[in-house]
Amino acid sequence: MQVIVTGHHLEITEALKANIDSKFAKLARHFDNVTDVHVILSVEKLMQKAEATLQLRGTKFFAEDHQEDMYVAIDNMVDKLDRQIIKHKEKNGNHR
């Protein structure tokens, strides 16, 4: 799984990068076919914004979150992606 982190009006520190890598490693446990993840972190006045596009084989998922703390925004965004992946996995299992 390749994780690309981009910052808009924000410098990506090693701590942010390590936090994102650890969060997305947890997502890889649910579904093995995760090929590419693109995370964009940005600052808009007082709000911190985290958004991610996750690509599975044949499917793309998108989630974003706005918070005052960047780490909380990343946690909420990963939770949203986690729910989407689990729902997608359950749908595929039910149709077969």
- 24-50: per-residue pLDDT in tens? 888 877 777 777 899 999 998 889 999
The end-to-end CA distance of the chain, in Å, is 26
Q: How far apart are CA 78 and CA 72, in angstroms?
A: 10
Domains of the chain, CATH where assigned? 2-95 (3.30.160.100)
Q: How confident is the model at residue 59 (pLDDT cuts 50, 70, 90)?
A: confident
- Mean pLDDT across 66-83: 94
SS3 45: coil
